[in-house]
Homo-oligomer: A and B are copies of this chain.
């Protein structure tokens, strides 16, 4: 396995930090993992930003073909590293081998998708010369160096070489990643791979750097550095809002693409619920408990009309939850927050805990939970995301109440409708509400699983993200890091 050194990646240098020391923890065993990583500080931010700025004009001027080949080279390096990545990432996150193996493929698939997009090019708007004036041709210019903050729950696909980095690099922007404390070794492996690909492609070293550091200190220093021109972030609402605020208060504000929190409401319409029966309940619990529920697209809220059919669904779901064996959670902080979230539900006067799963056989983890509440007791406090395998079913009096509650929800990444042909009218009335609520509408499925493709939107209204006009997965993600420029008149 590739040897880990505990060093940061600053351009082509491998630099040891001198600040706070951290180590990864294996949530399965609680064991602290080697090597030690030490935080960087001002000097490392300065060096990475200076290199990125130096690299920017050269890098953004590369041809789409050259950037495509570079992205593919990164993908090939990650493929070659699969074994090491899987070994280290499973140890750092407790995620199972097949999941992490799939995530490597998802990450390299996204890099290759963007390479294909670069080769395919796009329509260029041109207004020809004529009575209205000289020719005007629209181009796109990369924004500048981008700071990327990855998430704990996707140590590859939303981390060092994940969607934010891949789309920024595709756009022509140098990238500086703040590595995630929860999987520093996986970060090191991926970060070195990107840096090596930069060197082998003959690109300037400042195209990529990766620093370890404290979020409020090094992270905010990156966001407020005048050379940084945009930010990609996936994580908690508190951290995302702090970054967005710091960026808005710069002398020259910059865009922040922060994906923050979502409870991904699911609407089970009456006919679909009756038709779906126990299978529907099993599929629901499968989505809730997948990866110990640690997905931003986890279905945390379900709305349905009360009655015998819903009771049967809840019985079946409760049985499935009770049978759940549990799985390790990513970090003890996440497990603690999960436990507190479930406790809040338990203490809520209107909420009934229908079932708990088993405690996982792991040092860090929590039991799955299924809860229900009558609509009369549903309030904003029950909209808060509980990150983990927990879901709350809201029993409504009728479809009007379902729609009314949907209208009161905060912005979401996804909204899901289960609708049989007999539910058509209800679905027609609900859909406009959901279109205003979410970035992705799922019909008759479950929100977990975000397909990497041209049409995907992984985004949504505030507070699901800080900018609903974009996506962090899929082809449209590239445009976030560019701006349009019009070229007027023919150059002699």
Contacts and interface: CB of A to CB of B under 8 A. Distances in A.
Interface of A: 57, 61, 123-127, 132-134, 136-138, 141, 143-144, 244, 248, 252-253, 255, 411, 419-421, 427, 432, 435-436, 438-445, 449, 451-457, 459, 461-463, 466-471, 474-476, 480, 482-492
A492 B439 contact: no
A446 to B, nearest CB: 10
Contacts of A454: 125-127, 138
B253 A439 contact: no
A483 B141 CA distance: 21
Contacts of A467: 255
A252 to B, nearest CB: 5
B444 A492 contact: yes
A308 B278 CA distance: 89
Nearest to A122: B123
Given A136-B455, A453-B136, A476-B138, A469 B483 contact: yes
Nearest to A138: B455
Contacts of A244: 253
Given A125-B475, A127-B454, A440-B485, 9 more contacts: A125-B454, A132-B453, A138-B476, A420-B492, A439-B485, A442-B489, A456-B486, A469-B483, A471-B486
Contact of A484 (B123, B127, B444, B469): B469
B487 A471 contact: no
Q: Is the interface of A mostly helix, strand, loop or mixed?
A: loop
A404 to B, nearest CB: 15
Given A445-B489, A485-B439, A492-B444, A411 B453 contact: no
15 contacts: A124-B455, A125-B455, A126-B454, A126-B455, A127-B451, A134-B445, A141-B436, A143-B468, A144-B436, A253-B466, A427-B491, A442-B489, A451-B488, A456-B486, A457-B485
Given A442-B489, A491-B419, A136 B484 contact: no
Given A141-B435, A439-B484, A485-B441, A421 B492 contact: yes
